[in-house]
């Protein structure tokens, strides 16, 4: 496993802000034989640098999950520090990844460890009779919902809580307490869409998708809002509704 703390001498640190459509990726993290965002990005940076590099992201988005503000960093040769990185990479990358910003930063910057908050959105399609084909890769068709009760439920997730019940298996952690600073719902780009936002200091594996799955059950009357506090205290994932599908989820921004 790569040592994320190791800083190669005399190699400037490059910070990247990128957006991607996650539909054709098997997530962010490099996996042998699979197309991943980290893998594609690493390949193109190495073409420009001419040497192997290690790239570290702020978060590991799952297969099918999108991003508008993923952050990453890597160390590059000094001879490559002054090239126009944004333009260079955008000319090489496939159309489902774009570099929004590329900046040389302090050697101590770390895309994941220095993050103070992340913002995720999840888009719901509430029209029961159809879904626009153009929107299908970016939202979850759920049908009619009680939006008022869902907004009340969102307020229950704000603050500092043990979110163990909303963590899927795969990354064992001793501390499952996280703080959600804000959780709210807004209209989407059309009357058929509603967008749920979560801003927090960190998120467990598939936590946002599990929160959304729970919200949808509440909105459909399958789960009473009064049960949420008790279910959270029991810390058992099996007691909560199924995980929402990945395509509605988007990493909006990483704050430092």
Provide the angle, in degrees to the nearest 10, between the axes of the packed helices 85-92 and 37-49: 120
Cα(225)–Cα(247) distance, rounded to whole angstroms? Answer: 25
Tell me the per-residue pLDDT of 123-181, one tens digit each, with 9 for 90 and over: 999 999 999 999 999 999 999 999 999 999 999 999 999 999 999 987 678 899 999 99
Rounded Cα distance between 8 and 12, Å, is: 9
pLDDT at 169: 81
Query: Distance (Å, rounded) from C-alpha 35 to C-alpha 23?
Result: 11
What is the rounded CA–CA span in Å between residue 252 and residue 78? 31
Any idea where the domains of the chain sit in the sequence?
13-105, 117-255
pTM for this prediction: 0.93
- Which residues carry out catalysis? 62
CB count within 10 Å of CB 11 equals: 18
The residue written with tokens 């959600």 in the block is: 180
CA dihedral 35, 210, 1, 51 (to 10 degrees): 40
Residue 185 pairs in a beta bridge with 196
Query: Looking only at Cα atoms, what is the longest distance across the chain?
Result: 60
- DSSP H stretches of helix in the chain: 37-49, 85-92, 147-157, 207-219, 228-234
pLDDT digits (tens, 9 = 90+) for 86-122: 999 999 999 999 999 999 999 999 999 999 999 999 9
Say if CB 75 and CB 108 are below 8 A apart: no
Token pair, residue 210, equals 């599990």
User: What does the pLDDT look like over 198-228, one tens digit per residue?
Assistant: 999 999 999 999 999 999 999 999 999 999 9
Residue 8: what pLDDT?
A: 47
Domains 13-105 and 117-255 share a fold: yes
Q: What is the pLDDT of residue 9?
A: 55
Q: Determine the distance from the C-alpha atom of residue 27 to the mean position of all C-alpha atoms in its chain, rounded to a whole number.
A: 10
Q: Who contacts 95 (Cβ-Cβ below 8 Å, separation ≥6)?
A: none
Where does 117-255 sit in CATH, by number?
Answer: 3.30.70.660
- The whole-number pLDDT of residue 1 equals 42
Domain 13-105 -> CATH class: alpha beta
pLDDT at residue 3 greater than cutoff 90:
no
């Amino acid at each position: 496993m790569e040592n994320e703390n190791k800083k190669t001498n005399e190699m400037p640190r490059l910070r990247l802000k990128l957006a991607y459509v996650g539909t054709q990726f098997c997530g962010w993290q490099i996996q042998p034989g699979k197309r991943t965002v980290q893998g594609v990005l690493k390949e193109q940076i190495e073409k420009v640098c001419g040497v192997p590099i290690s790239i570290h992201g702020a978060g590991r988005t799952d297969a099918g999950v999108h991003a508008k503000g993923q952050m990453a960093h890597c160390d590059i040769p000094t001879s490559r520090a002054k090239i126009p990185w944004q333009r260079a990479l955008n000319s090489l990358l496939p159309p489902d990844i774009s570099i929004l910003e590329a900046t040389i930063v302090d050697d101590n910057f770390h895309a994941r460890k220095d993050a103070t908050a992340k913002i995720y959105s999840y888009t719901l399609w509430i029209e029961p009779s159809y879904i626009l084909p153009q929107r299908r890769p970016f939202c979850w068709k759920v049908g009619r919902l009680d939006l008022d009760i869902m907004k009340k439920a969102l307020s229950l997730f704000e603050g500092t809580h043990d979110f163990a019940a909303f963590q899927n298996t795969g990354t064992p952690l001793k501390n499952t307490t996280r703080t959600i600073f804000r959780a709210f719902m807004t209209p989407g780009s059309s009357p058929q869409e509603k967008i749920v936002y979560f801003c927090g200091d960190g998120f467990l594996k598939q936590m946002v998708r599990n929160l959304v799955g729970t919200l949808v059950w509440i909105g459909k009357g399958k789960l009473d809002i009064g049960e949420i506090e008790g279910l959270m205290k029991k810390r058992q994932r099996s007691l909560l509704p199924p995980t929402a599908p990945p395509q509605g989820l988007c990493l909006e921004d990483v704050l430092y």
